[in-house]
Amino acid sequence: MISLNRDELKLCAFNIRDKIVFYFDKNGVVRTINYADIDKHPEIKGLSYKFNGGYSIDFWKVHFNILGRVKFKVLKMVLDRITEGDSIDDMELYINTLYPKSFEDKEKDELERFICRIYRPEFHRLPENTNKKTFDFITIEASILSNEAMQNRDAYLRQNIKEICSKLVKKVEKSSSFQKYGIPVSCLRASEITFHKKIDVLKVVFELKQVI
């Protein structure tokens, strides 16, 4: 866990955003001043004068000395999150709890947004199958984003159909109707996939795998 030196950070500037300087006051609370007023506050530490007349901050390296222990993405997230009225305690909390999303997490979030709703699976028997304790196939539908709500919607659907079917299988697996049959979802295979563009609904038919 990263610990910050409260005494060292008081009256220390740590960020410049949109020509606004962020710093901790003598009580460790985040305050801001206008970039043009820096000369009026000589008590604020951590600002380096540049030859072009501006200022820069090497806050993370000089004052925290934590580069190498915290990912740069986390530091950037902290700077984007911290705001006036926060404290050193808040910054320490952000450093230790904010984590950049992995590529897999971002893909998962996108898929969650793409699938608007998964409907209850329906179990069917063929006319010749009179055994009520069995089924021949399962149909399940999912509403997805409209073409207007997502660019390249159809291409995304084609590229991610395997992951989408996996989401639908999980819905089937959690169904109490399926659980009563006492078989694993690994016995199922997607035999038919239909996309109704006019109503933005995807329909998948699952059948039992053939036993050889």
Residues 6+ positions from 203 with CB-CB distance below 8 Å: 139, 140, 141, 192, 193, 194, 195, 196
**What is the tens place of the pLDDT at every residue in 10-29?**
998 888 888 889 999 999 99
Whole-number pLDDT of residue 5 = 82
For residue 160, CA distances in Å to 108, 157, 163 come to 11, 5, 5
pLDDT computed for residue 101 by the predictor = 67
The Cα-based distances of 195 to 66, 80, 117, 170 in angstroms read 51, 41, 14, 19
Q: Specify the pLDDT at position 124.
A: 96
Residues of the chain short of pLDDT 70, as ranges, are 49-54, 58-70, 101-106, 211-212
| pLDDT confidence of residue 211 | 60
Query: What gap in Å lies between CA 69 and CA 74, rounded to an integer?
Result: 10
For residue 163, the Cα-to-chain-centroid distance in whole angstroms is 17
Distance CA 92, CA 1 (A): 9
